[in-house]
Structures are given as structure tokens and as C-alpha cells.
Structure 1
Amino acid sequence: MLLAVLAVHGGALLLYRQSTAAAADEAFASQVTSQLSLAREAVMRRPPPERDAETKALSSPHFEIGWSASAPPRPSFAADPALASFRDRLVAVEPSLGPDLALGMEGGDDPLHQRDLGGRFRLPDGSFLTFRSAHAPSLARTGAWAYLSTAMAILVGAAAVALMHRIAGPLRDLARLTGEIGRGPTVPIPEAGPDETRDIARSLNAMQGRIHALVSERTQALAAVSHDLRTPISRLRLRLDSVAELTERKAMAADLDDMQAMVDSTLAYLRGDADPEPRRVTNVASVLVSVADTSADTGRDVGYQGPGRALAGVRPVAFRRALENLVDNGVRYGSRVRMHLEVEEAALFVRVDDDGPGIASEDVDRAFAPFSRLEGSRNRHTGGTGLGLTIAKRTIEADGGSLDLSNRPEGGLRAEIRLPRPAAALDTLRHERGALETNGSAISASNAVAAARDMETDR
């Protein structure tokens, strides 16, 4: 909008300048040629000794006429191209002035005549007629109207910037806040700005209320059903002892285990919508080591490679559950899982690699869908419940991170987690480093004092 205002102002300024200058120069040219024509006829009627007196009689305070038998000094030409166009206009009005007409801007000691128009042209007898006008072509100078117009354009531009800032500010806030919708609790959007922006914000707030009410109702219903299923599962486990056949009892126990796993996974998935656990600065490396040790204690081949300390802002219990889901997924389809941790200034990168068959690239998005199992078997040990990757992705994204799946070149699946390091984690890390450096300096100073004491003792 500002560029449009400036373009319109520039075009209007140019058109106004050209139109008014052309009209003024046309009138000025007619006046100059008329006076020069009258002066030439009057001078040519006089003998040379009387021509000076004649030119003085023809002169006025605003237009001086002079005569010279020889060529007078050539006037100093200004670089303004308006003089060339004005000369062409004079010749066009009075062709008899001829090609010898010369124009220039003459300066004087008088401040009122610093920019006077001067010139000379040859008479038929070889003498020269000179003139000096207190006025000049309008194109040779910029009037006060140009400055006033520019000032008005600046004011209009400033108003345009303020107006667009008032419109764009709420729009930027609206775009930023709408990007956070669906990643946690309701995001209140300020109803500010123009009427249209306020209407959009009001509609989005109302839409969020309806969506969260619908999701909450659905979550409560599913959670209640899943929770109530635990009671009949517990009663069936008590009745297993009355089954005499061992094979049948084991099969029923396996089915109950499947049902219990599905109920637990569903409840964990539904609890993720409103997990009360707060985020805090956590040593992610210790969580990875703990998950690896716990898995190794159960006989699974799970290992960890990386530093012993790396801070990030996460929900520790939820993050551990997400890692366990990724490890369980890797062990289920492969025989070995390795976790790697890389530390950068702004983020942590956790890789969970397995040696399984991997997944097709077109199935990556479907792998994160709730209750979606890429393996067609209904066996819990091969197909799972279809919620492990879903819970892991939701948990990590709730902490501001991301989870991506890809196939390893050497075979197997890689789950890569990116965790941003908030300012609190970085501040804690810098504080710890400063404390270590301070302690190191204190220890060095203490050692130096002890060494000096020993040297004094030796003396």
C-alpha cells in the first residue's frame, strides 16, 4: 500500500510538473520572443552610435536589453536540460532568432538575481543583441508546491503504514495462534483489529470450544468403557483357576493378556489428550540409559550410545513411555535395538534403530494412525495394538519435538526424535558450566597456595 501511495504521488507530481511547467514556459517563451522581436526591430532602425541608448530605453527592471558590435562573452550554460528545451521553444515561436541563440543562467551579487536567464543572438548586420530576464523557465526550478505535495505524500504514507500495521498485527497474531490449535489446550485468540479480523477470531474461539467439548465427551466415554473393561478381565483371571486343562487355561490367559494390553494402551492414548504432567528440564541421556538397562534386564538386546548428560524440556514419565513404545516396536519386529543421542546447541536428536524389515515409504503416515497395524496378524506379539507409535508421536509433539520414521540403508527401521532445547535448559547448562569453571579456578588457586606453602616449608 505504501509503494502504491508513493507511485501515485510520483506520477501525479510528474504530470503536474510537466503540465504546469509547459503552460508557464509557453507563456514565458511568447513574452520573451515578443520583447526580443520588438527590440530587434527598434535597434535595427537606429544607427550603431544610438543603439546603446535605444536598448536602455527598451529595458525594464525585469527585462534588460543590450547591444554589442562584436560577439559578447558566451553566457555560462547550466547543466539543466530545461534550458535546451526552452531554447527550442523560443526558436519554434520565433524562427528568426536563428541557430545563434544562446541561453544561460547568469548569477549576480544581488540575491534576487542569482538565477536570472540570460542570452544573446546575432542581428542581420553581424552585431549582437543581448538580454537578461529576472524570470526563468519554470522547469529550471522547483516551486514550493512540490515540497508541499511531497510532505502530503509522506503524511499519507505514514497513515498508510499505521493503518496496515493495525491490520497486519492482528493477522500475524491470528496466523501464529491458529498454528498452535490442536496441539494442546484451547488457545484463546484475542478479538482485536478490524471488524473482519475480530469476526474471524470470534469464530475460531467458538469453533475451538465446540471441538474441545466434542473431543472431551468422546474421550470420557472411551475412557469409561476402557476402564470398566478391567473389572470383567479381573474376574475372568480369577476363574482361570477353575479350568482344569492346562492348554486351555494358557490360551485363555493369553487372550486376557491381549485384552489387558489393549485396555492399557487405549487408556494411555486417551490420557494423552489432557496429561497433567508438567514439562521440566530433564537429563534425556539418563532416561535413555534407564530404558536400555530395563530392557536389557528382561533379556532384550537393547543398547545406548551417546553422552551421559544432555538437557531438554520434556515430561519425563511421558517421554519414557514414548521411548519404551519405540523400543517395544523395534524388538517386536527385529532382534536388536540401538539408541543414539546427538547433542546440538538448539536441539537434541535421538535415533532408535532396529534390524527389522522396515516399512514401505507409503505406509509411514499410516503407521502413526491410531489403531492402525501394518502387520495383518491379530497376534499381540507381532501386530501389537496399533497405538504404540501414535502415543509416542503425540507425546513428543506435545513437548515441541518431532518424530519421523525412515528405513535404514543397512536394513531396519529408524525412528528419529528431535527435541528442542528451551532457554531454561540452556541456562541450566550454562550455569553448570560456569559452576564447573569456578570450581576449577578455585581448585587451581587452592593448589597454587598449597604449592607456595610447601616451597616456604622447604626453605
Structure 2
Amino acid sequence: MARLTPFIKRFLPRSLFGRSLMIIVTPMILVQVISTYVFYDRHWDLITRRLSGAVAGELAFVVELLAEEPSIEGNEPIFEMSRRHFWAELTYRPGDILPNETLVPSGLLEEKLTRELNQRVKFPHRLDARSIERHVKISVQLPNGVLDFTTTRDRLFSSTTYVFLMWMVGSSLILFAVAVVFMRNQIRPIRRLAAAADSFGKGSDAPGFKSEGAVEVRLAASAFIRMRDRIQRQISQRTEMLAGVSHDLRTPLTRMRLQLAMMPGGEDADALRQDIAEMEQMLEGYLAFARGEGTEQAQPVDLDRLLREVTNDARRGGRRVVLRSEEPLTLTLRPNAFKRALTNLVQNACRYGKAVEVSARQTDGHVEIDIDDDGPGIPPEKRAEVFKPFFRLEGSRNPMTGGVGLGLTIARDIVLGHGGELVLGDAPQGGLRATILLPV
């Protein structure tokens, strides 16, 4: 059974809409199958047998009346009564003999009528339900000739069969249409909630979203709206706090820089200036990581132009940076934040490699940006750790994170904020490959 489960799941619908319809339609189909079986076994079979028995009984009655009369002239009243009461046309062919062949019955109607004729009519007979359209002809071999008994097929078939089938098919189609419309209306709020959550996760505010739909969907939507408001409020509070912290920390550093400018030069003064510059760099890294560029609004951005700006800035530092972009790409991004992530990755590659290659292309549902260098790379067992804040590889004061251990952390945080993914691997040149995957 455990082996059959994955096999069965491959044929089951994956969407909630498809599964809901399957839950509704499957019992309906089972009910229709059971109803059809009961109708066929009880009603259709029983009614067809009774109708066939009535026609066979009428014929047997007429045959017994005519069998003892050697001539047909005295039996005209019997023929007339059969036309009037049995809705049957009787013709007599004196001296004729039935051919020595038997027609194989086709279908339920002919099978039931043949069975009833065999039980009720004691003379040789032959059933023909095909030569005359919408009529059945039964020929009976009498002692002095052949009696033809012709009646309509309607007498052997109940119209309730068509009514039942039309009712089943019609009601099933109506119920299916109602189920499709109802389920679409129920699924639509869930899709809107998913779209709003995805948009918010990529940096958009999703301001037009409101709770609607079933009670459970409204609860989930209301929880999402409250969560969105709390996150926005926390980001706003954190940004305001960091602005104050930035101002408070920059003030003493500025005073120290002014005091050093008035001091005579020397090794001690140069060392202090270097320490102040490093402190400012660390402060910028800390603030950028904590701020997370959360207040910037997403907008359509020409990715090719953004990549050219980043690579041109890197070339000004004297590095050889090559850009390969297959086609113009436009994505909804927070431009300053994403540019910062690209800059961190490109500067990291330039710091450890002599040749850097940046490429961008669109794959199935994603845009892939690769940043390759020919440097020493990062051991596979360390690639997960370099994304941790303030982590630095041993043996390097300014490793893969821009001096304070935050470069890759900030880059990944920005990429994740756009709904993407940042992955480290091996470059074809032997160095490090940083791959950004962004949903289209």
C-alpha cells in the first residue's frame, strides 16, 4: 500500500480547486453509477420484460384462435380486433413456409421478446426487428400458412428510459457547473491572500488587500493584515531609532577627526585616522545591516542597466570585470537595496580574484545572476557559516564580508527580501560563484 501511494498521488489534482471539485464530483458519480445500476436491474429490465410478455401474450392469444380454423375468411373479426385493441397489423399468407433460419437477437429488447415468444408461442416463429423501421415483425408458422404480426417498437420500449438518462446527465451538468462557480468564488480570496503575502514578502505594501471569503479565509486574511501592520510599524520604529543612533555616533567621530586635523602629523596621528576610518566603515556596515533598506518602495527596474552601473563602479578600482547579459530584463525591485547587494558581491569577488565575470539570464520562472571570480573560493563546509552576521574566515582581517563580517549577510538579507535566493558554489575559473535566483 505504501508503494501505491506515490503512484496514486501523481494522478490526483494538486490545486485546492481541483481537489475540492474531486471531492464534490466523486460522490456524485458514484451515486449516478449506483442509480443507473438499480434502474437497469430493477426498472428497465422489469418493464422491458413485462412489455415483451404483453406483446407475446397477445400474439399467443391470436395464434390459438386462428390455429384451429383452416381458412382465413371466417377470422376477419379477429384481425380487426387485433388492429383495434392490440395496435397490431395481422396478415396471413396461406400455404407459405417460414425459412429454416434463425435471426440472432441484438440488444436487450430483442432478447427479452425472443425469450417471451419461446415461452408463450408453441408454433415455430421468427422475429424480425430490423427490416421495417420502428416496427417489429413476428412471423408464426401455422398449419396452413404463415401469420405475420407487426407492431411498433414503442410498445416494447418505455420512454422513462430516455427521461431518466436525460435527467441524470442534465442534473449532473447543472450540479457540476454550480460547484465550479461556487468553488471559484471560494478559492479566489485564498489566491488573493497568497498574492498579497508574496507581494509583501518582495517589498511591496499590497495596500488594496482586504479580508473576504469564508470565515476561515477572513481569519487568515485578518491575521496577515495585523502581521503586516506590526512589521511595518517595527521597521518604522527601528529606522527612526537608527537615524538617532547614527547621528549620536557620528558626532563624536567628527569631533575626533577635527581634533586630529589640528594635531601635528606623525605615526600616532596616522594610526588614529586609520582607526577612525575603520570605525566609520564598521558603523556604516552595522547600520546598513540593521536598517535592511526596509523603507524603500519596489518599482520596475532595468536589471541590465543596474548591472552595468555596478560593474562600471568596480572597474574604476582597476579590476577586470566582464558583464554578460543575454537579454534586457525588467524586474520589480527596490533599486538601491538590490544595488547594494550586487555591489557587496562584486566587491567581494574583486577583493579575492583578479578576473570577475557577471552574467544574467532568464530561466524557467526565474532570473539567474552569477558572479564568478578566480580567487581561492570558500570551502564547501564554510559556505553556510559565511552568511552568519559578523562571521569572518580565519586568516583574513577583511574576508568575504566587507571588513566586519556583514557583506554576505546584508546581500542575502536583501535577496531574501525580494523573494529570491542567494547560493554559493564553485566558479568555472576555480574560484567562488555567487548565484542570485529571483522570481519573475
Q: Output the TM-score relative to the length of structure 2.
A: 0.74
The CA distance in 2 between the partners of 1:28 and 1:344, in whole Å, is 72
Q: Select 1:104's aligned residue among 123, 126, 129.
A: 129
Q: Are the equivalent residues in 2 in contact too, given 1:115–1:136 (CA < 8 A)?
A: no
Q: What are the equivalent positions in structure 2 for 1:166-177 lying under 5 Å apart? A: 166-177=185-196
Identify the residue that residue 195 of structure 1 maps to in structure 2: 215
Give the letter for the 1:262 counterpart. M
Distance 1:312 1:131 in 2: 84
The match for 1:214 is 234
2:64 is equivalent to residue 64 of structure 1: no
**Deviations along 1:384-436, whole A, 9 cap, x unmatched?**
32322233344456667664432124411122346789xxxxxxxxxxxxxxx
* 1:295 equivalent in structure 2: 317
Partner Cα separation in structure 2 for residue 218 and residue 317 of structure 1 = 19
Equivalent residue letter for 2:312: S
The one of 149, 155, 160 equivalent to 1:131 is: 149
Match of 1:388 among 390, 395, 407: 407
**Deviation for aligned residue 1:361:** 3.9
Q: Once the 2 structures are TM-superposed, how far is the Cα of residue 358 of structure 1 from its aligned partner?
A: 1.8
Which residue is 2:76 aligned to? 53
2:60 paired residue among 9, 34, 37: 37
Task: State which drifts further: 390-399 or 160-169.
Answer: 390-399
2:197 aligns with one of 150, 158, 178? 178
SS in 2 for 1:295: coil
2:356 to 332, 338, 341: 338
Are the structure 2 counterparts of residues 350 and 143 from structure 1 closer, same or farther at C-alpha, using a change threshold of 3 Å? closer
**Structure 1 counterpart of 2:177, from 120, 133, 158:** 158
User: Greater CA deviation, 14-23 or 259-268?
Assistant: 14-23
Q: Which residue in 1 is equivalent to 2:113? A: 87
Q: Is the 8 A contact 2:204 2:297 kept in 1?
A: no
Alignment partners' CA distance in 1, 2:244 and 2:283: 11
Q: 1:146 to 1:306 in 2, by over 3 A?
A: closer
Residue among 379, 383, 395 paired with 2:397: 379
Cα distance per residue 1:41-71 (max 9 Å; x no partner): 2222212455763751551331334443424
Moved more, 219-228 or 407-416: 219-228
**Cα drift, residue 375 of structure 1:** 1.1
1:229 to 240, 249, 257: 249
SS at match of 1:275: coil
Which amino acid in the other structure matches residue 59 of structure 1? S
Match of 1:115 among 134, 138, 146: 134
Distance 2:347 2:68 in 1: 120
Distance 1:308 1:212, change over 3 A: closer
SS of residue matched to 2:201: coil
Instruction: Indicate the residue corresponding to 1:264 in structure 2.
Output: 284
| CA drift at 1:164 | 1.3
Deviations 1:139-159 (A, max 9, x none): 699534433443333322221
1:335–1:22 Cα change, 3 Å: closer
What letter matches 2:172 in structure 1?
A
Structure 1 position 223, deviation (Å): 5.0
What RMSD, in angstroms, separates the aligned Cα atoms of the two structures?
4.2
Cα contact 1:284–1:310 (8 A) shared by 2: no
1:304 is aligned to 322
1:274 and 2:295 equivalent?
A: yes
Q: Is the 8 A contact 1:52 1:66 kept in 2?
A: no
Give distance in 1, aligned partners of 2:37 and 2:176.
18
Q: Indicate conservation of the 8 Å contact 1:82/1:140, yes or no.
A: no
Q: 1:246 to 1:51 in 2, by over 3 A?
A: farther
- Paired with 1:120 and 1:362, the residues of 2 have a C-alpha distance of 95
- Rate the CA distance shift 1:91–1:280 in 2: closer, same or farther, 3 A: same
Report the count of equivalent residues: 407
- Farther-moved stretch of structure 1 (1-10 vs 190-199): 1-10
For residues 6-57 of structure 1, give each alpha carbon's deviation from its aligned partner in whole angstroms, at most 9, with x where no partner exists. 5644653554355322232122122123222222222222124557637515
Distance apart, 1:287 and its partner CA: 0.9
SS at match of 2:433: strand
Partner in structure 1 of residue 43 of structure 2: 20
Letter of the 1:33 counterpart: A
- Secondary structure class of the residue paired with 1:184: coil
What is the CA–CA distance in structure 2 between the aligned matches of 1:271 and 1:306, rounded to whole Å?
29
